[in-house]
């Protein structure tokens, strides 16, 4: 059943994860001010599922249970599902900056495909176990964090070649009841305020890496799990109109010989399926990154145009402002268009769910990850220095001074200084504060580095077909 935001928070209270932030142990995730913007952001994914105007986009009928579920937990049964998921991600992220929970969708769809394929080769029963898990996740409307990225040590070496055997999460024991794992997952979004951890491998593996080829689900407060987290957004900062409300924490998750029962294990040693699970997750996830950053782009476009107007410049009439804002729109809508194309050209997998077309998914992610810097350049250039120098809300309340500031800092005579200052603050918040740097870093690295997307484009693009075209033309 769909949970309300209140029920989501109540369900988090039933869990007792071990979480540290800035060296102190968090007593209650829901009551921790440093995590509040993160809880708020996930709550929006619960809230919107109840809004009639978003029902089609936010929910779907599960082909597993026949019940209406949050689309973030849905297995795609068509290209239309892929498209709706992209639209939903943009919708959620234009409200929250980053709604994080789309990771669940991406991992569930990757596991749906990969457990099926592993069973076909090895005669294992991962798929049926996964379906049981999926049913519970959908029924209880859970949120999982997705732990894929390992510490990775020396990037040129495979897991088994590292100087420390625990630099990739690994299976240290297995018996008739389950497996025991040790190590760390190094960057995990939203982990403290989720119900479960979904663990995936982070790369392709060889036979010698088989102990690292693992995937499983485990409650966030299972024995042996410790999280070292960071604050979500800029909680308590009155100069942060968006990120004091909504933010995203990341965490390191430490696994100290954690036992995973077999009914929660989805890969354990089948090394030749580690790469396909990674690839499947990355393909879904890169489309989510596109939708998320398009949502951020919506805020940037609106605020940049508003800032120009507050400065007295008409974006339709003033040539170089028009060019800048048109370029901003071009960057956002061109990577979003790749997401749309990846959905429309999506294909059914051997397991029966639908996956985005990978070349467009990767091109969109590559454009998004690299053009974020062009987008921020346009914002900074258009806004001018007030972007990082506007007074705080409290300053505008200082007797005599606040009024003077409001007079002097007005731009266009038709637009109040308060409006101009609040737009400047919003743009500072998302492009020039700690969070501004954070948004550029997540854009370039989150979902994989630009080089990782280029490698995928080169792997999946049919260059041979293009070469044969040239052979036909030249006749050689
Ligand atoms: C805010 C944020 C949130 C995130 N959330 C999650 C999450 O929820 N779950 C999750 O699993 N991960 C998450 N990530 C991790 C993200 O997926 C990784 O950052 C990304 O895959 C890149 O990996 P890396 O950080 O280890 O960088 P690296 O892979 O080390 O890349 C750094 C540079 O080294 C290069 N490089 C890497 N390997 C090689 C090589 N063998 N040869 C040559 N060059 C190489 C890369 O191309 C790149 O230029 C998140 C990241 C961020 C920033």
Three-class HEC string of 329-359: HHHHHHHHHHHHHHHHCCEECCCCCEECCHH
**Last-in-domain residue among 273, 298, 315:** 273
Mark whether 70 and 189 lie in a shared domain: yes
For position 367, which CATH number holds? 1.20.140.10
Asked if 266 and 283 sit in the same domain, the reply is no
Q: Ligand 1 centre from 438 Cα, in Å?
A: 14
Query: Could you tell me if 124 and 328 are in contact, meaning their C-beta atoms sit under 8 angstroms apart?
Result: no
3-state helix, strand, coil split of the chain in percent (to 5) is 55, 15, 30
Does the C-beta of 148 come closer than 6 Å to ligand 1? yes
Distance 287 CA to ligand 1 centre (A): 17
Q: Is the CB of 451 under 6 A from ligand 1?
A: yes
Whether residues 104 and 249 share a domain: the answer is yes
- The total of structural domains in the chain comes to 2
Contact between 266 and 234 (Cβ < 8 Å):
no
Cβ neighbors of 111 (< 8 A, separation 6 or more) are 130, 198, 200, 215, 266, 277
SS3 237: coil
Is residue 137 in contact with ligand 1, taking CB distance under 6 Å? no
Interatomic CA distance for residues 170 and 216, integer angstroms? 12
**Which tokens belong to 96?**
């929250």
Q: 178: closest CA among 139, 140, 129?
A: 129
Residues of the chain with pLDDT under 70: none
Residues 345 and 399 in one domain: yes
Q: Which of 293, 439, 446, 447 to mutate to test the pocket of ligand 1 (most atoms within 8 A of CB)?
A: 446
Please work out, in degrees rounded to the nearest 5, the angle formed at the alpha carbon of residue 447 by the alpha carbons of 441 and 453.
105
Residue (of 12, 6, 3, 22) closest to 193 by Cα position? 12
Distance 116 CA to ligand 1 centre (A): 27
Nearest protein CA to atom 51 of ligand 1, as residue? 446
Residue 355 pairs with which residues in a beta bridge? 347
190 CA → ligand 1 middle, Å: 17
Cα 450 to middle of ligand 1, angstroms: 10
Same domain, 269 and 280: no
Same domain, 138 and 261: yes
Of 103, 147, 148, 149, the one to substitute when testing ligand 1's pocket (max ligand atoms within 8 A of C-beta) is: 149
Q: Which domain holds residue 417?
A: 276-474
Q: For residues 228 and 347, state if they share a domain.
A: no
pLDDT at 70: 98
**316: Cβ below 6 Å to ligand 1?**
no
Structure tokens at 120: 């076909």
Strands 265-268 and 250-261, sheet pairing: unpaired
Ligand 1 neighbour 149 (Cβ under 6 A): yes
Out of 247, 273, 299, pick the residue that ends a domain: 273
CATH assignment at residue 142: 2.40.110.10
Q: Find out whether the beta carbon of 446 lies less than 6 Å from any atom of ligand 1.
A: yes
Nearest CA to ligand 1 atom 48: 449
pTM for the full model? 0.97
- For ligand 1, atom 32: residue with the closest CA: 449
Evaluated on CA atoms 306, 310, 316, 319, the torsion sign reads: negative
Q: Within 13 A of 335's CA, how many CA atoms are on the CB side? A: 32
Residues 232 and 288 in one domain: no
Mutation to probe ligand 1, out of 214, 445, 450, 452 (largest number of atoms < 8 A from CB): 445
Cβ contact 96:85 at 8 Å: no
> Minimal CA–CA distance to 111: which of 80, 84, 142, 148?
148
Q: How far apart are CA 240 and CA 346, in angstroms?
A: 39
Q: Whose CA is nearest to atom 7 of ligand 1?
A: 188
- Residue reference for tokens 């994860």: 17
Judge if the beta carbon of residue 247 lies within 6 A of ligand 1: no
Looking at the structure, tell me whether residues 146 and 218 fall in a common domain: yes
Which residue CA neighbors atom 37 of ligand 1 most closely? 155
- State whether 417 and 384 are in the same domain: yes
Q: Is 463 exposed, middle or buried (0-12, 13-18, 19+ CB in 10 A)?
A: exposed
Which residue, of 240, 273, 306, is where some domain finishes?
A: 273
Residue 239 structure tokens: 């100069």
Verify that 150 and 114 share a domain, yes or no: yes
Helix H, strand E, coil C: the string for 192-215 is HHCCEEEECCCCCCCHHHHHHCEE
Q: How far from chain centre, in Å, is Cα 128?
A: 27
Q: What is the pLDDT of residue 183?
A: 97
d(CA 55, CA 236): 32
Residue 153 burial (C-beta neighbours within 10 Å; 0-12, 13-18, 19+):
middle
Quick one: which H or E segment has residue 261?
strand 250-261
Residues 284, 269 share a domain = no
- Tell me the CA–centroid distance for residue 133 and ligand 1, in Å: 28
Instruction: Please name the residue whose Cα sits nearest to atom 23 of ligand 1.
Output: 448
233 CB near ligand 1 (under 6 Å): no
């Amino acid at each position: 059943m769909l949970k309300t935001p209140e029920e989501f928070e109540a369900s988090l209270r039933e869990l007792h994860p071990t979480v540290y932030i800035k060296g102190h142990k968090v007593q209650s995730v829901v009551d921790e001010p440093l995590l509040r913007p993160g809880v708020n952001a996930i709550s929006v994914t619960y809230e919107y599922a109840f809004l009639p105007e978003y029902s089609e986009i936010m929910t779907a009928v599960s082909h597993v249970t026949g019940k209406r579920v949050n689309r973030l937990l849905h297995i795609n049964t068509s290209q239309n599902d892929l498209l709706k998921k992209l639209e939903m991600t943009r919708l959620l992220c234009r409200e929250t900056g980053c709604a994080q929970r789309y990771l669940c969708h991406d991992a569930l769809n990757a596991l749906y495909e990969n457990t099926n394929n592993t069973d076909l080769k090895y005669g294992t029963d991962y798929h049926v176990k996964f379906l049981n898990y999926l049913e519970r996740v959908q029924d209880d409307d859970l949120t999982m964090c997705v732990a894929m990225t390992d510490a990775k040590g020396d990037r040129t070496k495979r897991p088994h070649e590292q100087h420390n055997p625990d630099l990739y999460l690994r299976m240290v024991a297995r018996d008739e009841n389950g497996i025991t794992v040790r190590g760390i997952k190094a960057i995990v979004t939203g982990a403290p305020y989720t119900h479960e951890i979904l663990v995936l491998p982070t790369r392709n593996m060889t036979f010698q890496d088989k102990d690292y080829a693992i995937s499983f689900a485990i409650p966030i407060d299972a024995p042996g799990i410790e999280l070292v987290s960071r604050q979500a957004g800029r909680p308590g900062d009155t100069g942060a109109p968006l990120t004091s409300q909504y933010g995203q924490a990341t965490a390191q998750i430490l696994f100290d010989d954690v036992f995973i029962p077999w009914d929660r294990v989805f890969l354990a040693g089948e090394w030749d399926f580690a790469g396909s699970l990674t690839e499947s997750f990355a393909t879904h996830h890169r489309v989510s990154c596109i939708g998320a950053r398009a949502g951020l782009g919506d805020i940037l476009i609106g605020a940049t145009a508003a800032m120009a107007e507050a400065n007295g410049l008409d974006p339709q009439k003033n040539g170089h402002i028009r060019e800048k804002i048109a370029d901003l729109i071009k960057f956002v809508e061109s990577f979003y268009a790749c997401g749309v194309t990846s959905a429309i050209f999506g294909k059914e997998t051997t397991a029966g769910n639908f996956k985005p077309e990978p070349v467009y998914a990767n091109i969109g992610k590559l454009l998004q990850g690299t053009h974020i810097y062009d987008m921020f350049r346009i914002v900074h250039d258009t806004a001018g220095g007030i972007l990082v120098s506007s007074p705080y809300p409290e300053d505008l309340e200082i007797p005599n001074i606040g009024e003077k500031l409001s007079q002097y800092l007005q731009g266009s005579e038709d637009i109040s200084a308060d409006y101009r200052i609040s737009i400047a603050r919003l743009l500072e918040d998302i492009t020039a504060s700690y969070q501004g740097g954070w948004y550029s870093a997540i854009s370039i690295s989150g979902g994989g580095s630009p080089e990782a997307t280029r490698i995928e484009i080169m792997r999946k693009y049919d260059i041979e077909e293009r070469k044969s075209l040239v052979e036909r033309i030249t006749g050689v």
